[in-house]
Amino acid sequence: MANVSAPAPPAEAASVYGAKAVAIAASKKGAPYAYGATGPKKFDCSGLTLYAFRKAGRRLPRTAEQQYRSTHHISRQQRAPGDLVFFLTGTAIAHVGIYAGQDKIWHAPRPGTRVRLEQIWTVNTRYSRAD
């Protein structure tokens, strides 16, 4: 379960880095997926989030699991554009994207795909904010 020590700010007060990170991820639309890639031309899922937030002025660790552990956990109701969306396989963090609003994320899905905006396809997710 999420390690929440204090209530997160309301959705309107999303990370100052979030809006920039969404725009940066969107600018990478169509970039090919490559396992272990952190940009600027190819990405894996956590490579895209790492790249977008670094360009926005916030450093994140390399992997999705590390990114989840190092950010402020929030509820689904608190999410706002620019928050991180983590997808689970069992209890393990298996994928990450950047929340774009309207139940959509920017992400690098898997080998053979490209960075894209996509509807969130499951409720088996966790959310965090890179304050």
Active-site residue set:
45, 95, 107
Q: Are 64 and 86 spatial neighbours (Cβ–Cβ below 8 Å)?
A: yes
**H or E segment to which residue 117 belongs:** strand 116-119
- Cα 104 versus chain centre, distance: 11
Q: How many Cβ atoms sit within 10 Å of the Cβ of residue 50? A: 24
Q: Which residues pair with 126 in a beta bridge?
A: 86
